[in-house]
Amino acid sequence: MIAVTHVPELNILRVKEDGLEIGASVTLTELVETLKQCIAQRDAHETSACSGFVEQLRWFAESQIRNFASVGGNICTASPISDLNPLWMASRAQFNIIDCKGSVRTVFAREFFKGYRKVDLRSEELLLSVFLPFTRPGEYVKEFKQAHRRDDDIALVNAGMRVFLEQKDDAWSVVDASLVYGGVAPVSLSAVKTEAFLKGKPWTLQTLQGALQVLQHDIIITENDPRGMVEFRRSLTTSFFFKFFLWISYNIQQKTQVFLGFPDSYKSAVDPYTRPSSKGVQNYECPPNGTTVGLPVVHLSAKLQQKMCLVVMILDL
């Protein structure tokens, strides 16, 4: 048995020109701190994926867990409701795998997860590191998660989404897209038909409507799904994509001042919302005069009981 916590090769955390190299034993807390540094120091268009991971990890377990849990452990668990695996897949992440002879092979995250709790690792191999590429100009990555409660809860449905847009005059078209959902199948699932539909399409309201139609038949949750809440979870798959489409559209409109056809009334779907702390109020009413409710009124039988006690004491004497 080997504790991998302090193995140097597994604790690499290196910022490169084209991306971030993350050792498999790097803790989630260390990962978040490095991602935040990248966001602060690099151009905004390069760190869209970094922002997605930071926001998703914000709601991941508690700090005690994030301080100890490793990147590789979270990946290789291959949980179908993993908060991070859909993001690795959508962000074009690459997993570096090493065997006992020192040979290293690279697998894209989209190809690493083979089934329920099954990954592309042989018995003599382990996950060495993860390479997260920086995003390109026109490339956007976004995270989504819906659970029973916001903090420290498993997802009903989560997702990692990415789109790469190309501008031609005042129009934008889709070069590449990746939509990955968790909590809808035994493994994190890519919406391959919807991704194919989006490629080459203009970024317009008509494309959004068409993609939503395809997505309904692309990600299917069966009626007898053991996790239940089927209708609600189905609605989440489409609502996540709707919010993703709007989020990118308003980003483009803000940067280029080009109106893409989405009215301001839609913007509430993508505005961040932070629930304020709960507050409690207790009201005490003063009872009106002439009533015994709430007043220290002696019970009618109290004086009788007092007299009986005196009689007993006298008889005893």
Partners of residue 97 on adjacent β-strands: 105, 127
Q: What is the pLDDT of residues 36-46, one digit of tens each?
A: 999 999 999 99
The pLDDT-based confidence of 264 (bands split at 50, 70, 90) is confident
Q: Which amino acid is at 126?
A: L
In angstroms, how far is CA 63 from the centroid of its own chain? 16
Partners of residue 155 on adjacent β-strands: 147
Distance CA 223, CA 305 (A): 69
| Three-state DSSP class for residue 206 | helix
Yes or no: say if 130 and 137 are a contact pair by the CB < 8 Å rule.
no
Residue 309 pLDDT exceeds 80? no
177 closest CA partner among 146, 206, 200: 200
DSSP one-letter code for 43: -
Give 3-state DSSP helix, strand, coil % of the chain, rounded to 5. 40, 25, 40
Yes or no: say if 180 and 72 are a contact pair by the CB < 8 Å rule.
no
pLDDT recorded at residue 150: 82
pLDDT recorded at residue 290: 63
78 closest CA partner among 111, 123, 102: 111
Phi-psi region of 102 (alpha: psi -120 to 50; beta: other; left: phi over 0): left
Q: What is the pLDDT of residues 291-303, one digit of tens each?
A: 666 667 777 787 7
Query: Which of 59-63, 159-163, 223-227 is modeled with the greatest confidence?
Result: 159-163
Please give the average per-residue pLDDT across 120-147, as a whole number.
96
Q: What is the pLDDT of residues 197-241, one digit of tens each?
A: 999 999 998 999 999 999 999 999 989 999 999 999 999 999 999
DSSP one-letter code for 10: G
In order of their start, the domains of the chain are 4-259 (3.30.465.10)
DSSP one-letter code for 297: P
pTM: 0.84
Do β-strands 125-133 and 139-147 pair in parallel, antiparallel, or remain unpaired?
A: unpaired
Return the half-sphere exposure (C-beta side, CA atoms, 13 A cut-off) of residue 232: 11
| Three-state DSSP class for residue 108 | strand
Least confident of 118-132, 186-200, 224-238, 261-275: 261-275
Q: What order do you get walking across the sheet with 19-23 strand by strand?
A: 13-15, 19-23, 125-133, 94-99, 104-108
Two structure tokens written together for 294? 């709430």
